Amino acid sequence: MKKKITIDDIAKKLEVSKTAVSFALNGKAREKLISTELENKILAYVEEVGYKPNHSAQSLRTGKTKLIALMVEDISDPFFSTIARLMEEDAYKKGYKIFYRSTENSLQKTRELIDIFRSMQVDGYIIAPPVGIETELENLIKEGYAVVLFDRTLPGIELNSVTVNNFQGSYMAVRHLIASGYQNIAMITLSSEQIQMADRQRGYKQAIDEINKPYLIKNVIYHDQKENCIAEMIKFFRSHREIDAVFFTTNYIADNGLEAIRNLKLHIPQDIGVVVFDDYNFYRLHSPPVTAVAQPIKEISDQVINMILKLLLSNENKKTVVNVVLSTELVIRQSALLKTTSVLP
């Protein structure tokens, strides 16, 4: 293996002190009274030989790795993978590297990941947290790490976060179904205590209450087999023949739900109207195209990175907790356009 160039090599070659080299590299030349001439000479040589500082040595010395952990539910989910990509680009421009892994919404897996990231000595954590991880997050905060939540918050714990208005998004989605003439609207959601799911449910209930109809709610299990999940939904639709529209609260559920609807040979939007929370490239392609609540992905990413960078760079110990809430957008396609628009209550 080729020998790596070190600061010592450069200092010797240039016959300067390695202090000077280090200062030049870190942009501290002016502050430390190094002449511009010397600074340029050093930087030119560094460029010429392609010197790259040893990251391990820097981290060991400074105690900072310039690494940020990103933990999402499932990195192969289009929502999370798109966000991850935006974040990594953004963070890199600021000198940070992002390391991402999937929690699979499992408490144990998340704990394992936190352990891994701890041993890697990451400086900060960006997390779409599973319920129950509160204590571990509090410990991270106590130990001085930067922590930012996104996608969901955790009730009962005060942490910086970036989320969307799930209540409003769901409410608008169900109102759209009502305005399109649907009356017996079901919601299929996860049997999960996650706050964003609870908020989506509240949005549904609010809209249903306004038309004095009963709730038609079916919970499915996150880790269930795809086939079971579909079978459960089919059973639900069969035992509630009155259902003429359905609101799926995640992509994941909608994938299965659309398959259930196909198995039942129901036609969208004539037999059943469909709206999904979270937009997805694929919905444009579906027959018919699926109406969805779109989250502002780019904006979420920007806000999260800005927030964590601010935490990482500030020295103050007492930090104000900031919770950013962004709005969603209803992307209307053909899956929920049934009748002429009725008058809403």
Partner DNA sequence: CTGAAAGCGCTTACAG
Q: Between 85 and 310, name the residue whose CB sits nearer to a second copy.
A: 85
Of 77-85, 128-136, 147-155, 184-192, the segment contacting a second copy by CB under 8 A is 77-85
- Counting contacts by CB under 7 A, is residue 122 touching DNA? no
Partner whose footprint covers residue 323, from a second copy, DNA, none (CB < 5 to 8 Å by kind): none
For the bound state, the minimum distance from the C-beta of residue 69 to DNA, rounded and expressed in Å, comes to 19
Binding mask 15-54 for DNA (x = CB under 7 A): xxxxxx-xx-xx-x---xxxxxxx------------x-xx
CA dist 275 and 307 (Å) reads 32
For the bound state, the minimum distance from the C-beta of residue 244 to a second copy, rounded and expressed in Å, comes to 20
Q: Between 59 and 168, name the residue whose CB sits nearer to a second copy.
A: 59
Q: Between 112 and 158, name the residue whose CB sits nearer to a second copy.
A: 112
Quick check: 232 and 246 in contact, CB under 8 A?
Answer: no
The angle subtended at Cα 275 by Cα 269 and Cα 278, nearest 5°, is 145
Q: Between 60 and 344, name the residue whose CB sits nearer to a second copy.
A: 60
For the bound state, the minimum distance from the C-beta of residue 37 to a second copy, rounded and expressed in Å, comes to 27
Residues 6+ apart with CB under 8 A from 67: 96, 97, 98, 99, 120, 121, 122, 123
Q: Which of 73, 88, 244, 279 binds a second copy (CB under 8 A)?
A: 88
Quick check: 49 and 5 in contact, CB under 8 A?
Answer: yes
Q: Between 47 and 156, name the residue whose CB sits nearer to DNA.
A: 47
Residues between 15 and 74 with contacts to a second copy, criterion CB under 8 A: 52-57, 59-60, 65
SS (H, E, C) the chain: CCCCCCHHHHHHHHCCCHHHHHHHHCCCCCCCCCCHHHHHHHHHHHHHHCCCCCHHHHHHHHCCCCEEEEEECCCCCHHHHHHHHHHHHHHHHCCCEEEEEECCCCHHHHHHHHHHHHHCCCCEEEECCCCCCHHHHHHHHHCCCEEEEECCCCCCCCCCEEEECHHHHHHHHHHHHHHCCCCCEEEEEECCCCHHHHHHHHHHHHHHHHCCCCCEEEEECCCCCHHHHHHHHHHHHHHCCCCCEEEECCHHHHHHHHHHHHHCCCCCCCCCEEEEECCCHHHHHCCCCCEEEECCHHHHHHHHHHHHHHHHHCCCCCCCCCEEEECCEEECCCCCCCCCCCCCC
Residues between 134 and 173 with contacts to a second copy, criterion CB under 8 A: 142-144
Q: Which of 17, 121, 228, 270 binds a second copy (CB under 8 A)?
A: 121
Partner whose footprint covers residue 121, from a second copy, DNA, none (CB < 5 to 8 Å by kind): a second copy
Binding mask 197-236 for a second copy (x = CB under 8 A): ----------------------------------------
Kindly list the distances between the CA atom of residue 50 and the CA atoms of 4, 19, 278, in Å, as whole numbers in the listed order.
10, 19, 45
Q: Between 53 and 296, name the residue whose CB sits nearer to a second copy.
A: 53
Partner whose footprint covers residue 26, from a second copy, DNA, none (CB < 5 to 8 Å by kind): DNA
Q: Between 34 and 71, name the residue whose CB sits nearer to DNA.
A: 34
For the bound state, the minimum distance from the C-beta of residue 89 to DNA, rounded and expressed in Å, comes to 24
Locus of tokens 């989910």 = 77
Residues engaged in binding DNA (CB under 7 A) = 4, 6-8, 15-20, 22-23, 25-26, 28, 32-38, 51, 53-54, 57-58, 60-63
Q: Which residues bind a second copy (CB under 8 A)?
A: 1-2, 52-57, 59-60, 65, 75-76, 78, 81-82, 84-85, 88, 92, 97, 99-102, 115-116, 118-121, 142-144, 255, 258-259, 262, 281-282, 284-287
